[in-house]
Amino acid sequence: MFKSGFIGIVGRPNVGKSTLLNALMGEKLAIATHKPQTTRNRIMGIKNVPDGQMIFLDTPGIHKTSSPLNRSMVKTAVETFGNADLLLLLVEANTGVHKEDLFIIKSLENSRLPVILIINKIDLIEKTCLLPLIDQFRQLYHFIDIIPLSALKGDGVSILLDAVYRLLPEGPAFFPEDMITDRSERFIAAEIIREKIILLTHQEIPYVTAVMVDAFKEDEQKNLIHVQATIHVEKASQKGIIIGKKGAMLKQIGMAARKDLEIFFAAGIFLELFVRVQKDWTHDNKMLEEFGYIGKS
């Protein structure tokens, strides 16, 4: 008997959805930082097991918002409800029942999908607090299962994988066995660069930055990949911050990104970074479309 299906990972911003995807996959596929709204696109992780194929869909955080960029991110997440066989709703143990958790749970009321509640970050609370928290969530929705875990430490992840497999329908593999994501190499390279910008910069910079890979050329004989990418910001002052004094910040971003790119692609990386001002791109539907955050009209 072979089982397969799509599993949506949903939750409010910064609860650890990308960290969970990476833990489920056993390798870093999605960028993860301590800052909210890091994930902007749906990221697919394809996990093959002896008798099945689990296709995990990491999504942007669901939250109430008004900006065009954030609206597109929430739309991407909510659309997962209709494209999945099973949903994993992720909440944080250390914040209890958050008002944005209630917002998402209410949006699940019209869904007929089975939902597993994942209580993440259990390493941050006392064990005596866990059972009362589980009881609180159990009264809010008919979850098919409730699983406490720590995505960062990997505790409870194997229990979740077993539970997911049990709930998947019988069916064929949707993707080849050697495929781990539907995203292109350019997309992954751009996300790794963006992750380093988020980690190394402060204030508004992480939220006004988009990365586009302009060139991705492989030299198989030398096992070398030449990556050329442009970092887009909204203002000249932001460009100055990204470049830094005498180019120090841009160099730091490039060094950190190159290290992770070499690990992911198992090849040497020659990375060139450029910075460009694209005024108010986060409010410009044409630019959001060009950067891949909304569908082409």
Assigned fold of 3-167: Rossmann fold (3.40.50)
Percent of the chain with pLDDT over 90: 66
We find that the CATH architecture of domain 185-290 is 2-Layer Sandwich (3.30)
Render pLDDT for 117-136 as a digit per residue (tens, 0 to 9).
Answer: 999 999 999 989 999 999 99
Q: What is the pLDDT of residues 146-204, one digit of tens each?
A: 999 999 999 999 999 999 999 999 999 999 998 999 889 999 999 999 999 999 998 88
What's the confidence (pLDDT) of residue 78? 61
pLDDT more than 70, % of the chain? 91
Interval 184-194: pLDDT, tens: 999 999 999 99
Residue 97 · residue 136 · CB < 8 Å: yes
The three-state (H, E, C) secondary structure of the chain, written as one string: CCEEEEEEEEECCCCCHHHHHHHHHCCCCCCCCCCCCCCCCCEEEEEEECCEEEEEEECCCCCCCCCHHHHHHHHHHHHHHHCCCEEEEEEEHHHCCCHHHHHHHHHCCCCCCCEEEEEECHHHCCHHHHHHHHHHHHCCCCCCEEEECECCCCECHHHHHHHHHHHCCECCCCCCCCCCCCCCHHHHHHHHHHHHHHHHCCCCHHHHCEEEEEEEEEECCCCEEEEEEEEEECCHHHHHHHHCHHHHHHHHHHHHHHHHHHHHHCCEEEEEEEEEECCCHHHCHHHHHHCCCCCCC
Residues of the chain within CATH 3.40.50.300 domain(s) are 3-167
Give the global pTM: 0.82
pLDDT at 33 over 90: no
Confidence band for 77, pLDDT divided at 50, 70 and 90: low
Give span(s): CATH 3.30.300.20, the chain: 185-290
Tell me the average pLDDT across 23-48.
Answer: 82
Q: Tell which wins on pLDDT, 54 or 70.
A: 54
Of 182 and 65, more confident: 182
Measured CA to CA, the distance from residue 284 to residue 98 in angstroms comes to 32
Average pLDDT, the chain: 89
Total residues belonging to the chain: 297
